[in-house]
Amino acid sequence: MLISPAYAQAAAGGTESTLLGMLPLVLMFVVLYFVMIRPQLKRQKEHKAMVEALAKGDEVVTAGGFLGKVSKLGETYVGVELADGLEVQMQRSAVVQVLPKGTIK
């Protein structure tokens, strides 16, 4: 049994079909970048800027859900006063959100 000439010609022109076969994969990665990766990088940049801009007296929400007022600032740690006379030390990255002034009474 010999291979018919039509099959042999189809096998020789495989570069176009390979490129067309990879096109959906490339499109999936492009969509993944714009839908998932790019927004996550933007959120990380915003969080880093917020953490660097922390100031004494800011009212914050921590990753654990605690509301408190910033009382001390360090390079990597921040002191947060959760209640009168109760102050905890935590990493700056544990601050999730800065609240408007007067939220905590």
Q: Specify the pLDDT at position 12.
A: 52
Q: What is the pLDDT of residues 67-100, one digit of tens each?
A: 999 999 999 999 999 999 999 999 999 999 999 9
What does the pLDDT read at residue 5? 59
What's the pLDDT at 8?
52
Residue 17 has what pLDDT?
Answer: 83
pLDDT (tens digit per residue) in 16-65: 788 888 999 999 999 999 999 999 999 999 999 999 999 999 999 999 99
> Does residue 10 surpass a pLDDT of 70?
no
The token pair that represents 94 in the structure block: 């544990």
Listed by start position, the domains of the chain span 5-49, 54-99
Please give the Cα distance from 6 to 90 (Å, whole number). 72
Question: Which residues, other chains included, contact 101 with Cβ-Cβ below 8 Å and sequence gap of 6+?
Answer: 59
Tokens of 37: 């990766």
Report how far residue 105's alpha carbon sits from residue 95's, in angstroms, rounded to the nearest whole number: 19
- pLDDT at 11 (0 to 100): 53
CATH code for the domain defined by 54-99: 2.30.30
